[in-house]
Amino acid sequence: MIHELPTPLGTLTLAADRRGALVYLGFRDHEPRPKLLARAAAADLTDDPALLAPIRAQLEAYCRGELKTFDLALAPQGTPFQLRVWAELCRIPHGTTISYGELARRLGDPKLTRAVGTANGANPISIVVPCHRVIGTDGSLTGYAGGLDLKRALLALEQGPGPFGWLG
């Protein structure tokens, strides 16, 4: 089952499997991502509040500016290349950014910048797999499924002492 969670950043849509691993996390009002939602809905999803509680608690702490590193089981569905990109995204420290080119270099081939950008855009687990931390080579904010205002808000949240309070 798909769950919704109101936050200061907007309503998050999330889904976890029967083990409690996060399968999908996105922004309801900003991301028309029917393929990702359909993939998540096809997984064996949970409604168990006990399995969803850690996800909710960590997202709440993140939005309050209290959590810098998520400790959640993840089960993103993607190609082997996408999984490599998403794993590398998780290595970008809280409060920092890198360019798409740097991400491609970290994956071993600087010529993969476009492929990295495409995989970054297909990330099914926003925030926790921090695709918002990837920016243009010139430092510009480029591409974000939730929109550039939301990307800017996530980066600002990570730069300072909790500018958002939890609404939920």
Q: 24: which strand partners?
A: 15
Residues 58/74, Cβ–Cβ less than 8 Å: no
- Helical (H) or strand (E) element with 13: strand 12-16
CA 26 → CA 10, 104, 114, distances in Å? 10, 24, 22
131 has catalytic annotation: yes
Q: Which residues contact 152 (CB under 8 A, 6 or more apart)?
A: 141
Which DSSP state fits 9?
T
Name the token pair of 40: 């998540």
Q: Which of 37, 92, 131, 157 is catalytic?
A: 131
Hey, is 64 helix, strand or coil? coil
Active site residues: 131
